[in-house]
Structure 1
Amino acid sequence: MVFISHLMLFTILSCSLVSLAAIFLLRPLATRLGLVDVPGGRKRHDGHVPLIGGIGIFAALLIGVGLAPGEDRALWLLAACGLLVAVGVVDDRFDVRARVRLVVHLAAAAVAVWLVDASDALTLGRAFGTPQPLTLFGTWATVVGIVLVGGVINAFNMADGMDGLAGTLAMVAFLSMGVLAAAAADGTLLQVCIAMCGAISGFLAFNLPLRRTRRWRVFLGDAGSILLGFVAAYVGFGLSQGADARVAPVTVLWLAAVPVADLLITMSRRALQKRSPFRPDRGHFHHQLLDAGLTPPAALGLMTMAAVALAAAGLWMHWQRVSEATQLVGFLATAAVMAWAAARAPRWVHWTPVAWRRDSLVRTIPSP
């Protein structure tokens, strides 16, 4: 047990250092190559920010998973991740056609579904109140599995709209999934979770909304947000699918509750407004909190606390064997409450501590 603990600590530290070093070394090169995010439109940051967070995380994942003894599925996972990151980097720099991105995402999602043995049979559990687990077979299993992986990818891509948010939410998800992987004695999934936690921590050193990190700031880019969502989907499927699965599929939703709830609410809102579900806007949870007057650190703190609380609730329900139907109803109700609270943020933000609001920053500037 002591050896395993030391190995986990070594993996986290190694991946964190690799991510840090890769990002630090690539920053000047990214600027020269034009791999930067330019402010404008919905993008309200200052200056040209390098889009290399995904590369740093992938480099650390290669070390944390690729060099560890494990199964062949880990190598297939890394190959799919490498393809996503490569296309994502090209897209961040040159804007790849949507069709090309879609084909690559579908191919990677198919690999994830195949790796967790969900291409022949995909179970949705008893979340819909059925006496036996609702299971899809054959083509339906593959198609629905690919759609679900794509949904998780989009959830984390949408969360990447504020400094530190996507990385922090992913960290919460991988920590909680790592707990379940350890309980299930799945060494490969646990290794992936540990490596991702280390890699993300190295990236967050450059991405948290802090004054000290502003001059060194980097963004995930599409390559990074897609990588986070894809690996999270793979681990979630690995925990909840297959003959040896010990986790209910609906429980996994709670471990990534904030980005998944934001995805569901955003898609529903756009559909009701008769708009394309994929057309970007500033209606996400974090946008609503920022537009209501919260500072980025305060908005990040609130959303992180919500993510931790909901992940803890998911773990508790798993261990207490709460029925899957109850978990699904509770998740949908929680998503509705989050949407209601975010939409009414202008009504309650003024009750938060002064230091949490942007108007407090204005008051600190001395008058001429």
Structure 2
Amino acid sequence: MLTNILTNPTILTLICCFGSFGLVNYLIPRIIFMVNHHNLSEQPGHRSSHTRATPTMGGLAFFVALILNLFLFKELDHDHIGLNLAAALTLVFIIGLKDDLAVSTPRARILVEIIAIFIIFFHPGFHSFSFNGFFGVYRAPQMLIDGLNILIILTIINAYNLIDGVDGLASAIGISVFSMLALIFYKIDLQFYFILALSLISMLLAFLKYNFSHKQKIFMGDTGSLIIGFCIAFLCLRFLTVNSLLYNYFAFKPENKLFIITGVLAVPFFDMLRVIGVRLLQGSSPFTADRNHIHHILLDLGLPHYKIAVILGGLNYVLAILIIFLSAHLSSLGMMAMLFIIFLLFLSVFYKLKTRIPIKQN
């Protein structure tokens, strides 16, 4: 009977989703107690929108739930990637925990992320894909493909990490991304990835309760944002490397699959590009921490955290739907032009919003 349950996708989906929600909901108060007991709470800095020390390391609950989930639906893991993913997540968890306890250098973090990526690459199906006519290219040397995959994953992980600036925002973006990826994997009947995406949504929903709480507030911290970011990157990579014949289930042109990923992560990507551009124009390092993110602009305009999370989470959906719609009608060259126009509109909107921020009097 247990075997039947663990091989029934519907029952397994319900168990993993409700189990993930329940487990994170159970673990978070205990993590808060542990962090407070050992005085490990994050002290607010000059960039923080909070005024008191707040427990962090909420990502510890994500890690525990993910490892248990990978065990539960391993029977649906027809690609046999679960063990690689568990090992890679463990490395990401360690560097995230290190960041929450004592800040790591960007070089150390990126090095660990690359090692985690190579663990995924030990599976032959995860580091080779056709460009399907992207800018007229169909095939490329394997080293170029691997380099592109590494760049894509690092970009996704760090774009998501950078968006984690106000309560609920990282969760809202994560839920929007995982819901779209879940729909994609459901459509092409890749059940392992579909259940993984739904489980992650359940974890983020459970976490939101405490992230918005006044009495039991907790941040996901770098532990959480790196784990969630890595899971997003992992699922995006799987989408890019599926058999090209499976793209027949979708309306978009196969040559535009890279733009689909850009659309699904539009807000984190655009915000990251915008912030890097602003820092370079100011003569600062791209890694310099500041208050130039779009959530900082909305925060300085007086919007509460939950409204910022809803607005930017909704904007991510809108941009994703628009880009996916356009990808069904335009070539990759046309999509690049449209993406540039959308990005310019994005810049102009937030530039105008920034000019409306009241000047603080000394």
Shift of 1:59: 1.7
Shift of 1:238: 0.4
Paired with 1:114 and 1:270, the residues of 2 have a C-alpha distance of 36
SS in 1 for 2:140: strand
Paired with 2:156 and 2:124, the residues of 1 have a C-alpha distance of 16
- Structure 1 residues 184-232: Cα deviation after superposition (integer angstroms, max 9, x where no partner): 1112211221111111111111113xxxx12111111111111111111
Paired with 1:214 and 1:116, the residues of 2 have a C-alpha distance of 47
SS in 2 for 1:330: helix
Percent of aligned pairs sharing the same letter: 22
- Cα distance, 1:314–1:65 mapped onto 2, change above 3 Å: farther
TM-score, reference length from structure 1? 0.84
1:280 paired with 2:292, answer no
Q: Which of 173, 177, 181 is 1:177 aligned to?
A: 181
Runs of 4+ in 1 over 6 A off after TM superposition: none
Q: Which of 15, 24, 49 is 2:20 aligned to?
A: 15
Aligned twin of 1:264: 273
- Structure 1 residues 127-155: Cα deviation after superposition (integer angstroms, max 9, x where no partner): 43x2x43x432222222211221111110
Residue segments in structure 2 that go unaligned for 5+ positions in a row: 1-7, 248-253
Paired with 1:176 and 1:278, the residues of 2 have a C-alpha distance of 30
- Structure 1 residues 306-345: Cα deviation after superposition (integer angstroms, max 9, x where no partner): 0121233345456x46533333333332222122111211
SS in 2 for 1:49: coil
Paired with 2:99 and 2:352, the residues of 1 have a C-alpha distance of 36
Q: Equivalent residues in 2 for 1:66-77 (5 A)?
A: 66-68=71-73, 69=75, 70-71=77-78, 72-77=80-85
Shift of 1:102: 2.6
Shift of 1:38: 0.6
- Cα distance, 1:124–1:344 mapped onto 2, change above 3 Å: farther
Contact 2:42–2:53 (CA under 8 A) maintained in structure 1: yes
Paired with 1:317 and 1:241, the residues of 2 have a C-alpha distance of 22
Aligned AA (1:169)? I
Shift of 1:104: 0.9
SS in 1 for 2:211: coil
Q: Which of 68, 77, 90 is 1:63 aligned to?
A: 68
Q: Equivalent residues in 2 for 1:167-246 (5 A)?
A: 167-208=171-212, 213-244=213-244, 246=247
Contact 2:185–2:191 (CA under 8 A) maintained in structure 1: yes
- Cα distance, 1:283–1:91 mapped onto 2, change above 3 Å: same
TM-score, reference length from structure 2? 0.86
- Cα distance, 1:7–1:328 mapped onto 2, change above 3 Å: farther
SS in 2 for 1:50: coil
Q: Equivalent residues in 2 for 1:7-46 (5 A)?
A: 7-46=12-51
Paired with 1:61 and 1:235, the residues of 2 have a C-alpha distance of 14
Bigger shift: residues 154-163 or 258-267: 258-267
- Structure 1 residues 57-92: Cα deviation after superposition (integer angstroms, max 9, x where no partner): 122222222221224202211211121112211221
Paired with 1:317 and 1:297, the residues of 2 have a C-alpha distance of 30
Contact 1:49–1:218 (CA under 8 A) maintained in structure 2: yes
- Cα distance, 1:324–1:189 mapped onto 2, change above 3 Å: farther
Aligned AA (1:165)? L
Number of residue pairs matched by the alignment = 339
Aligned AA (1:325)? L
Paired with 2:56 and 2:173, the residues of 1 have a C-alpha distance of 19
Paired with 2:357 and 2:9, the residues of 1 have a C-alpha distance of 45
Paired with 2:188 and 2:180, the residues of 1 have a C-alpha distance of 13
SS in 2 for 1:274: coil
- Structure 1 residues 80-118: Cα deviation after superposition (integer angstroms, max 9, x where no partner): 112111221122112234443232111112233444735
Shift of 1:346: 4.8
Bigger shift: residues 61-70 or 229-238: 61-70
Paired with 1:310 and 1:103, the residues of 2 have a C-alpha distance of 32
Q: Equivalent residues in 2 for 1:75-154 (5 A)?
A: 75-115=83-123, 117-119=125-127, 121-128=128-135, 130=136, 132-133=137-138, 135-154=139-158
